[in-house]
Structure 1
Amino acid sequence: MNYHKYHSVDVVNGEGTRCTLFVSGCEHNCRGCYNKSTLNVNSGNIFTKELEDQIISDLQDTRIKRRGLSLSGGDPLHPANVATILSLVERVRNECPDKDIWLWSGYELSELDKNQQRIIDLVDVLIDGKFEQELYDPELLWRGSSNQIIYRFSV
């Protein structure tokens, strides 16, 4: 899996202070996408064990009260990302059980395959649905267009 950016301190992508990973790879090609540089699965940098270790370390750092991890992109549920994202969320659940996980995906909850659903079973919040420019509303919280749905799960 490739990624474009990692922010160890982020207050924009989810509730509270968070760690945020923007992965590469998205097949939705939404008109008006704000993050087109992440569409190609081969763009950005290779996601390494060292970065995964850094994410866990950042989540555990007591100097900053981080609420959790946000996964965006690109699309964390793109088929090329599923295995690595599953491994990462499993590790966060095991090593940082007090942290929540948010995930943004252009796929809708109802259309996820078995492997994508395994990831969703481990996240606390899913924002699903393609960005639709004609439904864009800057007043929406955590989403860009009104068709996107925020699901809050208890894990």
Structure 2
Amino acid sequence: MAQRRKFMVVLEHAALVTGLIVLYYLIPIGDGSDLPRVGLGVALFLLGVAVLVWVFARHTLAVARRDRQARLGVLLYLLYTATSFFALSYYAVAGIDGDQFADLHTRTDALYFTVATIATVGFGDVHAVGQLARALVTVQMVFDLVIIAALVGAYRLTFAHRSER
């Protein structure tokens, strides 16, 4: 029974990541020539950040008290969603103003840059150049620090709880 539950959790995470990647590549993004659309994009970005913060706060207050395994799952879902969200934001900004990022031309470039930022690798081939891009990347870096710290804490609690049994 425990083996089946583990398999279902892995399958659930794989399905979510696959769905987010498909959605990421299918969401239409304009070229930035339509000013009202740009304003809508900025508003949606800010709304997205607010939603991510709300989900994280809700998770911290509600789930952390109950099931440690659920806490870990929610944090991973949040990380997957944030990765797609930031990558799409970077791609949109690069489409509006190509001078904001160096060598960010495709959605794959944006996803690659986002994952490299999360992993704190920073190869330097794709990087923020403009002030808007640097501000967005700074928001992501702060978010990543909080999420990674929470993930490490959740793993520690989960394994500490298992060893107590």
Between Structure 1 and Structure 2, the one with more helix by share is 2
Output the TM-score relative to the length of structure 2: 0.27
Output the TM-score relative to the length of structure 1: 0.29
Between Structure 1 and Structure 2, the one with more strand by share is 1
Tell me which structure has the larger Cα radius of gyration. Answer: 2
